[in-house]
Every structure is written in C-alpha cells, then in structure tokens.
Amino acid sequence: MNVNAGSRLAWIALLMLSISAAVNVLQAQRIRALEGRQASGISLVGRGLPELTGAAPTGTPRRIDLTGAQPTVLYYFSPSCGWCDRNWANLEAIAAGARGRYRVLAVTSNRGTSEYIRERRITLDVLEGLDENSRQAVGFSLSPHTIVVSADGQITHDWRGAYTPRIERQIEDVFGVLLPGVDPAAAR
C-alpha cells in the first residue's frame, strides 16, 4: 500500500468516526427532549373520568365511582408486563403513605388475576377485566400507566411507563412518600 492510499484510508476512517459521533450526539439530544413527554405525546390531565366498569378478581361485576370524598390513584398493569412487576413495591408504598388521603386501585383489562395477585402478595384493591369503554375513556393502552383522578373525577396526574428516576421523583413529590424504586429481581 502506498502512502497516499494509507492517508486516504485514515481520512475516511476519521470522517466516519466524526459522522458516527455526530449521530450519537443528535440521538442523545432527541432522547433528552423526549424524557419530559408522555409516551403517546398526549397528556390525560384535565380529562373527566367519573367511573370504571370491570370485575373483582372473584369475577363479581364491579362499577367503581371515581368521584367522592378523596382522589383515586389508578395503576394500569398487565400480568405479562415485567415493568409492572417491578413497580409493585412502589405502589404498595404509595398506598401506605397516602392512606386516608387517596384511594389506590390496581386496574387491568385481563381476567383471572387472582393467582397473579396472590403470588405477588398484592394488597391493593384490584379491578380486573376493565371493559373496553372504561379503558378507552381513561386512555389506557400500554402498561404500566399511573394516573390520579381528583375527587370530582378529573385526571390531575398522568405517568406512563416504568418508574424511572424522573417519574419516581415526581410521584414522591405528589404523594409525600419515599419510594423503594423498581425491583430488578421481579422482572421475568
């Protein structure tokens, strides 16, 4: 190989490395810009949500009125969601710390969750088999999804996805509790 060919290869390698670094910087900026947004880009805050219809884990039909004496925290989960499993300790901490100030309800579109609830020692009230109208009214599509509904039925907070450090801090501020963080051992 002559000197010119070696120099050209070195310049090409340097150019490729520069382009790769620039692409990485742009991707990092895009990710940082997305961190503060909802996954779908549409916040549910301000939407009215008066009730949900589904069933108790025993199969008994249930209608949950979300208006009343205190706000309600809804945690939408799926038994097949690894991040949902990782968040249960956080939800139990919210329920314990917010006792008397908030009602905490775990909600799923799935049916037959009693074994799942028992295996994970979930003490929260669970509404399963959430009907399609209720699911669409609240905007649940991906799990996990946590929202707060005021006593007059208006959504006041909307967190989608796993409890990343940013979401965890927001939740701790809203409820005045210290969360244990996600449980990495709970992932399937």
Nearest to 70 by CA among 175, 178, 177: 175
Q: Is residue 67 domain-shared with residue 118, that is, in the same domain?
A: yes
Q: What is the pLDDT of residue 39?
A: 44
Q: Is residue 59 domain-shared with residue 17, that is, in the same domain?
A: no
Please say whether the beta carbons of 173 and 97 come within 8 A.
no
* Beta pairing, strands 145-149 & 155-160: antiparallel
Residue 41 located in a structural domain: no
Type of residue numbered 98: A
Average pLDDT, the chain: 82
Q: Is residue 7 domain-shared with residue 60, that is, in the same domain?
A: no
* Cis omega (within 30 of 0) for bond into 144: yes
Domain of 16 in residue numbering reads as: 1-34
Q: Is residue 57 domain-shared with residue 18, that is, in the same domain?
A: no
Nearest to 178 by CA among 106, 89, 77, 86: 89
Residue 89 has pLDDT above 50, yes or no: yes
Q: Is residue 6 domain-shared with residue 76, that is, in the same domain?
A: no
Q: Is residue 59 domain-shared with residue 110, that is, in the same domain?
A: yes
**pLDDT tens digits, one per residue of 5-55:** 678 887 887 777 777 666 555 554 544 443 444 444 577 888 888 789 999
pLDDT bucket at 137, cuts 50 / 70 / 90: confident
SS3 42: coil
pLDDT bucket at 2, cuts 50 / 70 / 90: low
**pLDDT tens digits, one per residue of 67-88:** 988 999 999 999 999 989 888 9
Residue 113 located in a structural domain: yes
Copy the structure tokens of residue 68. 């009343």
Q: Is residue 146 domain-shared with residue 171, that is, in the same domain?
A: yes
Q: What is the pLDDT of residue 7?
A: 81
Residue 42 located in a structural domain: no
Residue 39 located in a structural domain: no
Euclidean distance between CA atoms 68 and 108, whole angstroms: 22
Residue 139 located in a structural domain: yes
Q: Is residue 28 domain-shared with residue 57, that is, in the same domain?
A: no
For the chain, how many structural domains are there in total?
2
Indicate the pTM of the whole model: 0.74
Tell me what the mean pLDDT of segment 145-153 comes to: 93
Q: What is the pLDDT of residue 186?
A: 62
Residue 40 located in a structural domain: no
Copy the structure tokens of residue 103. 């009602």
Euclidean distance between CA atoms 133 and 53, whole angstroms: 8
Q: Is residue 22 domain-shared with residue 87, that is, in the same domain?
A: no
